Structure 1
Amino acid sequence: MSVDPMSTASTPGAAPARARVLSRAAFETRMLLANGEQLLVSLILPSLALAGLTLSSVPDLGPGARAELALAGALALCVVSTAFTGQAIATGFDRRAGVLRLLGTTPLGRGGLLAAKALAVLSVLGVQVVVIGALGLALGARTPVAGLVPAALTLLLGSACFVALALLLAGTLRAEAVLALANLVWVLLLGLGLIAPTDALPGILAPVAAALPSGALGDAMRLALVDGGWPLAQWAVLAVWGVVAALLASRTFRWSD
Protein backbone atom coordinates (compact mmCIF):
# COMPACT_ATOMS: atom_id res chain seq x y z
CA MET A 1 0.00 0.00 0.00
CA SER A 2 1.42 3.40 -0.95
CA VAL A 3 1.55 6.24 1.52
CA ASP A 4 0.04 9.56 0.59
CA PRO A 5 3.02 11.94 0.91
CA MET A 6 0.77 14.88 1.66
CA SER A 7 -1.02 13.18 4.54
CA THR A 8 -0.20 13.47 8.23
CA ALA A 9 -3.01 11.15 9.25
CA SER A 10 -2.42 8.04 11.32
CA THR A 11 -0.69 5.15 9.56
CA PRO A 12 -0.89 1.57 10.84
CA GLY A 13 2.16 0.85 12.98
CA ALA A 14 3.28 4.48 12.99
CA ALA A 15 3.33 6.97 15.85
CA PRO A 16 0.44 9.48 16.04
CA ALA A 17 0.71 12.37 13.59
CA ARG A 18 1.30 14.90 16.37
CA ALA A 19 4.15 12.85 17.82
CA ARG A 20 5.75 12.49 14.39
CA VAL A 21 5.62 16.23 13.75
CA LEU A 22 6.96 17.13 17.21
CA SER A 23 9.78 14.59 16.93
CA ARG A 24 10.85 15.94 13.56
CA ALA A 25 10.50 19.52 14.79
CA ALA A 26 12.82 18.75 17.72
CA PHE A 27 15.35 17.28 15.30
CA GLU A 28 15.13 20.28 12.97
CA THR A 29 15.60 22.62 15.94
CA ARG A 30 18.70 20.77 17.14
CA MET A 31 20.16 20.86 13.64
CA LEU A 32 19.59 24.61 13.33
CA LEU A 33 21.17 25.32 16.71
CA ALA A 34 24.05 22.86 16.32
CA ASN A 35 25.15 24.13 12.91
CA GLY A 36 28.00 26.57 13.43
CA GLU A 37 27.21 28.73 10.41
CA GLN A 38 23.54 28.95 11.32
CA LEU A 39 24.36 29.70 14.95
CA LEU A 40 26.56 32.55 13.74
CA VAL A 41 23.75 33.99 11.63
CA SER A 42 20.92 33.36 14.09
CA LEU A 43 22.48 34.43 17.41
CA ILE A 44 25.98 35.85 17.22
CA LEU A 45 25.48 38.38 14.42
CA PRO A 46 22.17 39.73 15.82
CA SER A 47 23.85 40.06 19.24
CA LEU A 48 26.77 41.95 17.72
CA ALA A 49 24.36 44.14 15.75
CA LEU A 50 22.39 44.95 18.90
CA ALA A 51 25.50 45.87 20.89
CA GLY A 52 27.04 47.84 18.04
CA LEU A 53 23.89 49.81 17.25
CA THR A 54 23.24 50.59 20.92
CA LEU A 55 26.76 51.71 21.79
CA SER A 56 27.47 53.68 18.61
CA SER A 57 25.86 56.78 17.12
CA VAL A 58 25.64 55.54 13.52
CA PRO A 59 23.58 54.84 11.58
CA ASP A 60 20.68 57.11 12.45
CA LEU A 61 17.94 54.88 13.90
CA GLY A 62 15.28 57.56 13.99
CA PRO A 63 13.45 59.20 16.92
CA GLY A 64 13.28 57.37 20.21
CA ALA A 65 15.63 55.72 22.70
CA ARG A 66 18.50 54.16 20.81
CA ALA A 67 18.54 50.97 22.91
CA GLU A 68 14.90 50.18 22.10
CA LEU A 69 15.40 51.01 18.43
CA ALA A 70 18.46 48.76 18.28
CA LEU A 71 16.57 45.95 20.03
CA ALA A 72 13.72 46.17 17.53
CA GLY A 73 16.15 45.98 14.61
CA ALA A 74 18.06 43.07 16.13
CA LEU A 75 14.88 41.06 16.67
CA ALA A 76 13.79 41.74 13.08
CA LEU A 77 17.22 40.52 12.00
CA CYS A 78 16.66 37.34 14.03
CA VAL A 79 13.50 36.59 12.07
CA VAL A 80 15.23 36.97 8.70
CA SER A 81 18.26 34.98 9.87
CA THR A 82 16.25 31.98 11.07
CA ALA A 83 13.03 31.98 9.05
CA PHE A 84 14.64 32.92 5.73
CA THR A 85 18.40 32.41 5.54
CA GLY A 86 18.69 29.40 7.84
CA GLN A 87 15.57 27.66 6.56
CA ALA A 88 16.33 28.29 2.89
CA ILE A 89 19.85 26.87 3.16
CA ALA A 90 18.82 23.86 5.25
CA THR A 91 15.89 23.02 2.97
CA GLY A 92 17.93 23.50 -0.20
CA PHE A 93 20.64 21.08 0.90
CA ASP A 94 18.08 18.60 2.26
CA ARG A 95 16.48 18.62 -1.17
CA ARG A 96 19.79 18.03 -2.92
CA ALA A 97 20.64 15.15 -0.58
CA GLY A 98 17.27 13.49 -1.20
CA VAL A 99 16.12 13.95 2.40
CA LEU A 100 12.93 15.75 1.42
CA ARG A 101 11.96 13.09 -1.11
CA LEU A 102 12.61 10.33 1.43
CA LEU A 103 10.69 11.99 4.28
CA GLY A 104 7.81 12.79 1.95
CA THR A 105 7.16 9.07 1.49
CA THR A 106 7.29 8.22 5.20
CA PRO A 107 4.33 8.39 7.62
CA LEU A 108 5.50 11.92 8.47
CA GLY A 109 4.39 13.04 5.01
CA ARG A 110 5.15 16.29 3.25
CA GLY A 111 2.54 18.20 5.24
CA GLY A 112 4.04 16.93 8.48
CA LEU A 113 7.52 17.87 7.33
CA LEU A 114 6.44 21.44 6.56
CA ALA A 115 4.67 21.69 9.93
CA ALA A 116 7.82 20.43 11.67
CA LYS A 117 9.96 23.02 9.90
CA ALA A 118 7.58 25.79 10.94
CA LEU A 119 7.70 24.63 14.58
CA ALA A 120 11.49 24.46 14.43
CA VAL A 121 11.68 28.05 13.24
CA LEU A 122 9.41 29.18 16.07
CA SER A 123 11.50 27.23 18.61
CA VAL A 124 14.74 28.82 17.45
CA LEU A 125 13.07 32.22 17.33
CA GLY A 126 12.00 31.71 20.95
CA VAL A 127 15.63 31.12 21.93
CA GLN A 128 16.65 34.21 19.98
CA VAL A 129 14.03 36.38 21.68
CA VAL A 130 15.21 35.26 25.13
CA VAL A 131 18.91 35.81 24.36
CA ILE A 132 18.55 39.07 22.41
CA GLY A 133 15.90 40.38 24.79
CA ALA A 134 18.14 39.73 27.80
CA LEU A 135 21.05 41.44 26.07
CA GLY A 136 18.82 44.38 25.20
CA LEU A 137 17.77 44.74 28.83
CA ALA A 138 21.41 44.65 29.90
CA LEU A 139 22.16 47.44 27.41
CA GLY A 140 19.35 49.61 28.77
CA ALA A 141 16.36 48.83 26.55
CA ARG A 142 13.04 49.39 28.31
CA THR A 143 10.23 48.57 25.91
CA PRO A 144 6.65 49.64 26.73
CA VAL A 145 4.43 46.88 28.04
CA ALA A 146 1.75 47.90 25.53
CA GLY A 147 4.10 46.96 22.71
CA LEU A 148 4.77 43.37 23.76
CA VAL A 149 1.66 41.87 22.17
CA PRO A 150 2.00 43.65 18.79
CA ALA A 151 5.71 42.82 18.82
CA ALA A 152 4.96 39.12 19.37
CA LEU A 153 2.37 39.14 16.59
CA THR A 154 4.87 40.87 14.31
CA LEU A 155 7.45 38.18 14.99
CA LEU A 156 4.94 35.45 14.17
CA LEU A 157 3.69 37.10 10.99
CA GLY A 158 7.21 37.98 9.91
CA SER A 159 8.35 34.40 10.49
CA ALA A 160 5.49 33.03 8.39
CA CYS A 161 6.27 35.48 5.58
CA PHE A 162 9.99 34.75 5.48
CA VAL A 163 9.54 30.97 5.78
CA ALA A 164 7.31 31.13 2.70
CA LEU A 165 9.99 33.13 0.89
CA ALA A 166 12.64 30.63 2.03
CA LEU A 167 10.66 27.67 0.70
CA LEU A 168 10.08 29.49 -2.59
CA LEU A 169 13.83 29.98 -2.97
CA ALA A 170 14.88 26.54 -1.70
CA GLY A 171 12.32 24.68 -3.78
CA THR A 172 13.24 26.17 -7.13
CA LEU A 173 17.02 26.67 -7.20
CA ARG A 174 20.01 24.39 -6.77
CA ALA A 175 21.46 24.18 -3.27
CA GLU A 176 24.62 26.13 -4.15
CA ALA A 177 22.55 28.95 -5.63
CA VAL A 178 20.29 28.95 -2.57
CA LEU A 179 23.34 29.27 -0.30
CA ALA A 180 24.73 32.21 -2.26
CA LEU A 181 21.43 34.05 -2.72
CA ALA A 182 20.17 33.52 0.83
CA ASN A 183 23.33 35.06 2.27
CA LEU A 184 23.35 37.88 -0.31
CA VAL A 185 19.71 38.73 0.41
CA TRP A 186 20.44 38.72 4.16
CA VAL A 187 23.15 41.36 3.62
CA LEU A 188 20.99 43.47 1.29
CA LEU A 189 18.01 43.48 3.63
CA LEU A 190 20.12 44.97 6.42
CA GLY A 191 20.07 48.27 4.56
CA LEU A 192 16.46 48.06 3.39
CA GLY A 193 14.58 48.87 6.56
CA LEU A 194 15.58 45.95 8.74
CA ILE A 195 17.76 47.75 11.30
CA ALA A 196 17.04 51.39 10.42
CA PRO A 197 13.66 53.03 9.63
CA THR A 198 12.62 53.08 6.01
CA ASP A 199 11.80 56.81 6.10
CA ALA A 200 15.47 57.53 6.85
CA LEU A 201 16.55 56.07 3.52
CA PRO A 202 17.37 58.48 0.68
CA GLY A 203 15.09 59.21 -2.28
CA ILE A 204 13.21 56.38 -3.92
CA LEU A 205 14.71 53.82 -1.55
CA ALA A 206 12.37 54.88 1.25
CA PRO A 207 9.04 53.85 -0.37
CA VAL A 208 10.67 50.81 -1.99
CA ALA A 209 12.00 49.56 1.34
CA ALA A 210 8.65 50.22 3.04
CA ALA A 211 6.97 47.95 0.47
CA LEU A 212 9.47 45.14 1.04
CA PRO A 213 9.00 42.53 3.79
CA SER A 214 12.27 43.61 5.41
CA GLY A 215 11.14 47.21 5.74
CA ALA A 216 7.68 46.22 6.91
CA LEU A 217 9.15 43.89 9.54
CA GLY A 218 11.69 46.40 10.82
CA ASP A 219 9.24 49.30 10.93
CA ALA A 220 6.61 47.12 12.63
CA MET A 221 9.04 46.05 15.36
CA ARG A 222 10.12 49.65 15.95
CA LEU A 223 6.52 50.87 16.14
CA ALA A 224 5.68 48.12 18.63
CA LEU A 225 8.76 48.18 20.85
CA VAL A 226 9.43 51.94 20.83
CA ASP A 227 5.96 53.48 20.61
CA GLY A 228 3.80 50.60 21.82
CA GLY A 229 1.73 50.89 18.64
CA TRP A 230 -0.07 48.39 16.43
CA PRO A 231 1.60 48.27 12.98
CA LEU A 232 -1.45 47.37 10.90
CA ALA A 233 -0.08 48.76 7.62
CA GLN A 234 3.20 46.86 8.01
CA TRP A 235 1.30 43.67 8.86
CA ALA A 236 -0.64 44.05 5.62
CA VAL A 237 2.61 44.23 3.64
CA LEU A 238 3.97 41.12 5.37
CA ALA A 239 0.70 39.26 4.80
CA VAL A 240 0.65 40.04 1.08
CA TRP A 241 4.27 38.95 0.61
CA GLY A 242 3.68 35.81 2.66
CA VAL A 243 0.52 34.75 0.80
CA VAL A 244 2.04 35.37 -2.64
CA ALA A 245 5.25 33.52 -1.72
CA ALA A 246 3.29 30.60 -0.27
CA LEU A 247 1.12 30.30 -3.39
CA LEU A 248 4.16 30.42 -5.68
CA ALA A 249 6.04 27.91 -3.53
CA SER A 250 3.10 25.50 -3.58
CA ARG A 251 3.17 25.55 -7.39
CA THR A 252 6.92 25.50 -8.02
CA PHE A 253 8.46 23.64 -5.07
CA ARG A 254 10.45 20.58 -6.17
CA TRP A 255 11.01 17.90 -3.55
CA SER A 256 14.12 16.56 -5.30
CA ASP A 257 16.68 17.84 -7.80
Structure 2
Amino acid sequence: MSVVTRELIGLHRRELMRDKRYFWFALFFPFGMMAIFLAIGRLMPRTEGAPNFLQLLTPMALFLAVTSTSLIVTSGSLANMRAKGALRLLGTTPVGRGRLLATHMVVRIGMLLVQAAALLAIATVAADLDPGRVPVLFGVTLLGMVMFGGIGYLIGGRMNSPDAATNVGNVVQLAALFLSGLAFPLSLMPDAVASVLRMLPTTFFADLLLGQMPGASPYHPSWLSIVVVVGTGLLAAAVAIGTFKWDQGEGRRA
Protein backbone atom coordinates (compact mmCIF):
# COMPACT_ATOMS: atom_id res chain seq x y z
CA MET A 1 0.00 0.00 0.00
CA SER A 2 1.46 3.35 -1.03
CA VAL A 3 1.94 6.27 1.33
CA VAL A 4 -0.64 8.31 -0.61
CA THR A 5 -3.24 5.56 -0.26
CA ARG A 6 -2.62 5.24 3.48
CA GLU A 7 -2.90 8.99 3.93
CA LEU A 8 -6.17 9.07 1.98
CA ILE A 9 -7.63 6.27 4.10
CA GLY A 10 -6.62 8.18 7.24
CA LEU A 11 -8.19 11.36 5.87
CA HIS A 12 -11.48 9.60 5.14
CA ARG A 13 -11.51 7.90 8.54
CA ARG A 14 -11.09 11.21 10.36
CA GLU A 15 -13.66 12.90 8.14
CA LEU A 16 -16.18 10.11 8.80
CA MET A 17 -15.90 10.25 12.58
CA ARG A 18 -16.00 14.06 12.72
CA ASP A 19 -19.40 14.16 11.00
CA LYS A 20 -21.23 13.31 14.21
CA ARG A 21 -24.72 14.08 12.88
CA TYR A 22 -24.73 11.22 10.43
CA PHE A 23 -21.96 8.94 11.70
CA TRP A 24 -23.60 8.05 15.01
CA PHE A 25 -27.02 7.69 13.43
CA ALA A 26 -25.73 5.36 10.71
CA LEU A 27 -23.72 3.40 13.27
CA PHE A 28 -26.48 2.75 15.81
CA PHE A 29 -29.72 2.95 13.79
CA PRO A 30 -29.62 -0.76 12.77
CA PHE A 31 -29.15 -1.76 16.41
CA GLY A 32 -32.14 0.33 17.46
CA MET A 33 -34.35 -1.28 14.84
CA MET A 34 -33.06 -4.72 15.82
CA ALA A 35 -34.01 -4.05 19.45
CA ILE A 36 -37.53 -2.99 18.40
CA PHE A 37 -38.09 -6.07 16.25
CA LEU A 38 -36.62 -8.31 18.95
CA ALA A 39 -39.03 -6.88 21.53
CA ILE A 40 -42.01 -7.24 19.18
CA GLY A 41 -41.01 -10.78 18.28
CA ARG A 42 -40.74 -11.79 21.94
CA LEU A 43 -43.96 -10.11 23.04
CA MET A 44 -46.26 -10.87 20.13
CA PRO A 45 -47.98 -14.27 20.32
CA ARG A 46 -47.26 -16.61 17.41
CA THR A 47 -50.31 -17.04 15.19
CA GLU A 48 -50.57 -18.78 11.85
CA GLY A 49 -50.15 -16.38 8.93
CA ALA A 50 -48.78 -13.54 11.07
CA PRO A 51 -45.30 -12.19 10.25
CA ASN A 52 -42.48 -13.71 12.29
CA PHE A 53 -40.58 -10.66 13.52
CA LEU A 54 -37.68 -12.75 14.80
CA GLN A 55 -37.36 -14.18 11.30
CA LEU A 56 -37.14 -10.66 9.84
CA LEU A 57 -34.86 -9.30 12.55
CA THR A 58 -31.48 -10.29 11.10
CA PRO A 59 -32.19 -9.46 7.43
CA MET A 60 -33.74 -6.12 8.41
CA ALA A 61 -30.84 -5.11 10.65
CA LEU A 62 -28.21 -6.07 8.06
CA PHE A 63 -30.15 -4.30 5.31
CA LEU A 64 -30.26 -1.09 7.38
CA ALA A 65 -26.57 -1.38 8.22
CA VAL A 66 -25.65 -1.74 4.55
CA THR A 67 -27.86 1.10 3.34
CA SER A 68 -26.98 3.48 6.20
CA THR A 69 -23.25 2.99 5.67
CA SER A 70 -23.43 3.00 1.87
CA LEU A 71 -25.81 5.92 1.48
CA ILE A 72 -26.09 8.21 4.50
CA VAL A 73 -22.40 8.51 5.44
CA THR A 74 -21.20 8.20 1.85
CA SER A 75 -23.22 10.54 -0.36
CA GLY A 76 -23.38 13.35 2.20
CA SER A 77 -19.69 12.98 2.98
CA LEU A 78 -18.57 13.51 -0.60
CA ALA A 79 -20.96 16.43 -1.08
CA ASN A 80 -19.61 18.00 2.11
CA MET A 81 -16.01 17.66 0.91
CA ARG A 82 -17.03 19.27 -2.37
CA ALA A 83 -18.84 22.13 -0.63
CA LYS A 84 -15.79 22.85 1.54
CA GLY A 85 -13.42 22.81 -1.43
CA ALA A 86 -11.50 19.73 -0.26
CA LEU A 87 -12.27 17.83 -3.46
CA ARG A 88 -11.15 20.77 -5.56
CA LEU A 89 -7.75 20.67 -3.86
CA LEU A 90 -7.50 16.89 -4.27
CA GLY A 91 -8.42 17.35 -7.93
CA THR A 92 -5.17 19.27 -8.47
CA THR A 93 -3.15 16.22 -7.33
CA PRO A 94 -2.49 12.92 -9.15
CA VAL A 95 -4.88 11.10 -6.77
CA GLY A 96 -7.52 10.38 -9.42
CA ARG A 97 -11.21 9.67 -9.03
CA GLY A 98 -10.84 5.89 -8.79
CA ARG A 99 -8.32 5.99 -5.92
CA LEU A 100 -10.25 8.68 -4.08
CA LEU A 101 -13.50 6.70 -4.16
CA ALA A 102 -11.78 3.37 -3.43
CA THR A 103 -10.05 4.69 -0.31
CA HIS A 104 -13.26 6.43 0.73
CA MET A 105 -15.11 3.10 0.52
CA VAL A 106 -12.43 1.16 2.44
CA VAL A 107 -13.31 3.14 5.58
CA ARG A 108 -17.03 2.47 5.04
CA ILE A 109 -16.39 -1.24 4.56
CA GLY A 110 -14.49 -1.30 7.86
CA MET A 111 -17.44 0.37 9.59
CA LEU A 112 -19.88 -2.09 8.03
CA LEU A 113 -17.79 -5.13 9.03
CA VAL A 114 -17.86 -4.00 12.66
CA GLN A 115 -21.62 -3.43 12.52
CA ALA A 116 -22.30 -6.76 10.81
CA ALA A 117 -20.17 -8.70 13.29
CA ALA A 118 -22.00 -7.14 16.24
CA LEU A 119 -25.46 -7.56 14.70
CA LEU A 120 -24.86 -11.20 13.81
CA ALA A 121 -23.50 -11.91 17.30
CA ILE A 122 -26.63 -10.41 18.86
CA ALA A 123 -28.88 -12.32 16.46
CA THR A 124 -27.11 -15.59 17.26
CA VAL A 125 -27.61 -15.11 20.99
CA ALA A 126 -30.99 -13.37 21.14
CA ALA A 127 -32.82 -14.42 17.96
CA ASP A 128 -31.69 -18.04 17.61
CA LEU A 129 -29.78 -17.40 14.38
CA ASP A 130 -28.02 -20.55 13.18
CA PRO A 131 -24.26 -19.87 13.59
CA GLY A 132 -23.69 -21.80 10.35
CA ARG A 133 -25.49 -19.02 8.48
CA VAL A 134 -23.17 -16.29 9.77
CA PRO A 135 -20.40 -16.60 7.12
CA VAL A 136 -22.94 -16.54 4.28
CA LEU A 137 -24.73 -13.53 5.75
CA PHE A 138 -21.37 -11.76 6.08
CA GLY A 139 -20.74 -12.37 2.39
CA VAL A 140 -24.21 -11.20 1.40
CA THR A 141 -23.70 -8.03 3.46
CA LEU A 142 -20.52 -7.22 1.53
CA LEU A 143 -22.35 -7.84 -1.75
CA GLY A 144 -24.94 -5.30 -0.63
CA MET A 145 -22.15 -2.83 0.04
CA VAL A 146 -21.04 -3.21 -3.58
CA MET A 147 -24.49 -2.35 -4.89
CA PHE A 148 -25.58 0.37 -2.46
CA GLY A 149 -22.06 1.77 -2.27
CA GLY A 150 -22.12 2.34 -6.02
CA ILE A 151 -25.46 4.12 -5.67
CA GLY A 152 -24.14 6.21 -2.78
CA TYR A 153 -21.15 7.36 -4.80
CA LEU A 154 -23.39 8.07 -7.76
CA ILE A 155 -25.41 10.46 -5.55
CA GLY A 156 -22.47 12.00 -3.71
CA GLY A 157 -20.36 12.29 -6.84
CA ARG A 158 -22.64 14.93 -8.35
CA MET A 159 -24.48 16.81 -5.60
CA ASN A 160 -23.15 19.99 -3.99
CA SER A 161 -25.22 20.14 -0.81
CA PRO A 162 -24.40 17.56 1.92
CA ASP A 163 -27.90 17.84 3.40
CA ALA A 164 -29.54 17.34 0.01
CA ALA A 165 -27.29 14.37 -0.77
CA THR A 166 -28.05 12.79 2.60
CA ASN A 167 -31.78 13.35 2.14
CA VAL A 168 -31.66 11.66 -1.26
CA GLY A 169 -29.76 8.80 0.36
CA ASN A 170 -32.46 8.52 3.03
CA VAL A 171 -35.19 8.40 0.38
CA VAL A 172 -33.34 5.66 -1.51
CA GLN A 173 -32.86 3.72 1.74
CA LEU A 174 -36.53 3.90 2.75
CA ALA A 175 -37.78 3.14 -0.76
CA ALA A 176 -35.48 0.13 -0.98
CA LEU A 177 -36.59 -1.08 2.45
CA PHE A 178 -40.33 -0.82 1.82
CA LEU A 179 -40.28 -2.02 -1.79
CA SER A 180 -37.97 -4.99 -1.34
CA GLY A 181 -40.28 -7.25 0.66
CA LEU A 182 -38.49 -6.75 3.98
CA ALA A 183 -40.67 -4.19 5.75
CA PHE A 184 -43.81 -5.03 3.77
CA PRO A 185 -44.13 -8.57 2.35
CA LEU A 186 -44.66 -8.63 -1.42
CA SER A 187 -47.24 -11.39 -0.95
CA LEU A 188 -49.59 -8.79 0.55
CA MET A 189 -49.41 -6.59 -2.54
CA PRO A 190 -51.44 -6.92 -5.74
CA ASP A 191 -49.88 -9.47 -8.09
CA ALA A 192 -49.14 -6.89 -10.79
CA VAL A 193 -47.29 -4.65 -8.34
CA ALA A 194 -45.44 -7.52 -6.68
CA SER A 195 -44.28 -8.91 -10.03
CA VAL A 196 -42.68 -5.55 -10.87
CA LEU A 197 -41.08 -5.09 -7.44
CA ARG A 198 -39.54 -8.57 -7.60
CA MET A 199 -37.43 -7.35 -10.52
CA LEU A 200 -35.84 -4.45 -8.60
CA PRO A 201 -32.13 -4.99 -7.79
CA THR A 202 -32.84 -4.11 -4.16
CA THR A 203 -35.32 -6.97 -3.97
CA PHE A 204 -32.68 -9.39 -5.22
CA PHE A 205 -30.45 -8.26 -2.35
CA ALA A 206 -33.26 -8.64 0.21
CA ASP A 207 -33.92 -12.07 -1.29
CA LEU A 208 -30.35 -13.13 -0.52
CA LEU A 209 -30.76 -12.05 3.11
CA LEU A 210 -34.19 -13.59 3.61
CA GLY A 211 -33.07 -16.78 1.88
CA GLN A 212 -30.76 -17.54 4.80
CA MET A 213 -33.64 -17.71 7.27
CA PRO A 214 -35.25 -21.06 8.20
CA GLY A 215 -38.20 -22.00 5.98
CA ALA A 216 -37.59 -19.12 3.58
CA SER A 217 -38.93 -19.23 0.01
CA PRO A 218 -36.75 -16.90 -2.09
CA TYR A 219 -38.25 -15.32 -5.19
CA HIS A 220 -35.08 -15.92 -7.23
CA PRO A 221 -32.27 -18.48 -7.30
CA SER A 222 -29.23 -17.34 -5.32
CA TRP A 223 -26.89 -17.28 -8.30
CA LEU A 224 -29.20 -14.92 -10.18
CA SER A 225 -29.54 -12.61 -7.17
CA ILE A 226 -25.74 -12.46 -6.81
CA VAL A 227 -25.31 -11.64 -10.51
CA VAL A 228 -27.92 -8.86 -10.35
CA VAL A 229 -26.57 -7.32 -7.13
CA VAL A 230 -22.94 -7.36 -8.26
CA GLY A 231 -23.81 -6.21 -11.78
CA THR A 232 -25.89 -3.31 -10.47
CA GLY A 233 -23.11 -2.28 -8.11
CA LEU A 234 -20.41 -2.36 -10.80
CA LEU A 235 -22.61 -0.41 -13.21
CA ALA A 236 -23.41 2.24 -10.58
CA ALA A 237 -19.73 2.49 -9.60
CA ALA A 238 -18.64 2.91 -13.23
CA VAL A 239 -21.21 5.67 -13.77
CA ALA A 240 -20.23 7.29 -10.45
CA ILE A 241 -16.56 7.43 -11.44
CA GLY A 242 -17.37 8.67 -14.92
CA THR A 243 -19.68 11.47 -13.77
CA PHE A 244 -17.80 12.43 -10.59
CA LYS A 245 -17.06 16.14 -10.27
CA TRP A 246 -14.34 17.71 -8.15
CA ASP A 247 -15.77 21.20 -7.86
CA GLN A 248 -19.19 22.79 -7.41
CA GLY A 249 -18.62 24.88 -10.52
CA GLU A 250 -18.20 21.95 -12.90
CA GLY A 251 -21.90 21.91 -13.79
CA ARG A 252 -22.63 18.95 -15.99
CA ARG A 253 -19.04 18.26 -16.95
CA ALA A 254 -17.51 15.03 -15.64
TM-score range, shorter chain: 0.7 to 0.9
Q: Which residue of 1 aligns with 2:240?
A: 249
* TM superposition score normalised by structure 2: 0.79
Q: Which amino acid aligns with 1:129?
A: A
Identity, % of aligned pairs? Answer: 25
Deviation of 1:33 (Å): 3.9
Q: Which residue of 2 aligns with 1:18?
A: 2
- Cα 1:44/1:125, change in 2 over 3 Å: same
* TM superposition score normalised by structure 1: 0.79
Unaligned runs of 5+ in 2: 249-254
Q: Distance in 1 between matches of 2:7 and 2:119?
A: 27
- Cα 1:149/1:232, change in 2 over 3 Å: farther
Q: Which residue of 2 aligns with 1:209?
A: 197
Q: Distance in 1 between matches of 2:182 and 2:200?
A: 13
Q: Which residue of 2 aligns with 1:235?
A: 226
Q: Which residue of 1 aligns with 2:164?
A: 177
Deviation of 1:166 (Å): 1.1
Task: Give yes or no for contact 2:208–2:225 (8 Å, CA) kept in 1.
Answer: yes
Q: Distance in 2 between matches of 1:150 and 1:160?
A: 16
Deviation of 1:256 (Å): 1.2
- Cα 1:101/1:198, change in 2 over 3 Å: farther
Q: Which residue of 1 aligns with 2:35?
A: 51
Task: Give yes or no for contact 2:40–2:53 (8 Å, CA) kept in 1.
Answer: no
Deviation of 1:66 (Å): 4.0
Confirm or deny that 1:125 pairs with 2:119. Answer: no
Deviation of 1:86 (Å): 1.4
Q: Distance in 2 between matches of 1:85 and 1:155?
A: 16
RMSD over aligned Cα, in angstroms? 2.9
- Cα 1:111/1:220, change in 2 over 3 Å: same
Larger mean Cα displacement after TM superposition, 20-29 or 166-175: 20-29
Q: Secondary structure at the match of 1:238?
A: helix
- Cα 1:137/1:33, change in 2 over 3 Å: farther
Find 2:26's aligned residue among 42, 49, 59.
Answer: 42
Q: Distance in 2 between matches of 1:226 and 1:144?
A: 12
Task: Give yes or no for contact 2:157–2:244 (8 Å, CA) kept in 1.
Answer: yes
- Cα 1:65/1:30, change in 2 over 3 Å: farther
Q: Deviations over 1:112-142 (max 9, x none)?
A: 2222112111100011112222332342332
Task: Give yes or no for contact 2:72–2:169 (8 Å, CA) kept in 1.
Answer: yes
Q: Which amino acid aligns with 1:70?
A: L
How many residues were matched structurally? 238
Deviation of 1:65 (Å): 6.4
